[in-house]
Amino acid sequence: MTEAMFLVLIVEDDAGIRGVLRMLLESQHYRVVEAESAARGIIEARNHRPDLLVVDLGLPDRDGLAVIREIRRFAPTPVLVLSARTMEVDKIAALDAGADDYVAKPFSAPELLARVRAGLRRNAQGGEQLPILATMPPAPTIVTLSP
Ligand code: CA
């Protein structure tokens, strides 16, 4: 299996952010499926069996944490949380719900891609989890998002 075959599911209600993520991921030759709500995300995860999920926490129907818990009932797929919530308690809640990693918005494109690669690598190696990294200093490429 080559990297070109990896499928990433984006669960994010902001169309602008979804577009940026799709562009970034497709630039690395990943295939991308998008979901704009928690309910849709769970359906797409069941349908497509992605290799990795990027999950926003602030979704219109249910909290992203609910998506993560639901996914964990049927798949060990790596979950990368992408959220504007930057409190330590939010990160801990996401990790406890089953997330593997956490990236705060606004995010650095190179860092996000590096964490996607790390998640896919861990998946390929059998799901060994690494501890979440401390917040990294701002990278040169910052994606600015609407509030
Ligand atoms: Ca959101």
Which pLDDT band, with edges at 50, 70 and 90, does 143 fall under? low
| 62 CA to centre of ligand 1 in angstroms | 11
pLDDT the model gives residue 97:
97
- Average per-residue pLDDT in the chain? 89
DSSP state of 61: S
pLDDT the model gives residue 128:
47
| 125 CA to centre of ligand 1 in angstroms | 31
Mean pLDDT on 39-49: 97
> What percent of the chain is predicted at pLDDT more than 70?
82
Distance between CA atoms of residues 127 and 116, nearest Å? 14
Please check whether residue 123 is in contact with residue 77, taking contact to mean a CB–CB distance below 8 angstroms.
yes
pLDDT the model gives residue 83:
97
136 pLDDT exceeds 80? no
What residue ranges define each of the domains in the chain, with the CATH number in brackets?
Answer: 3-135 (3.40.50.2300)
Distance between CA atoms of residues 62 and 56, nearest Å? 11
What are the C-alpha distances in Å from 52 to residues 108, 139, 142? 18, 23, 22
Contacts of 131 (CB under 8 A, 6+ apart): none
Q: Hey, what are 64's tokens?
A: 């992203």
| 126 CA to centre of ligand 1 in angstroms | 30
| 47 CA to centre of ligand 1 in angstroms | 22
21 pLDDT exceeds 70? yes
Count of Cβ atoms closer than 10 Å to residue 1 Cβ: 7
| 59 CA to centre of ligand 1 in angstroms | 5
| 107 CA to centre of ligand 1 in angstroms | 14
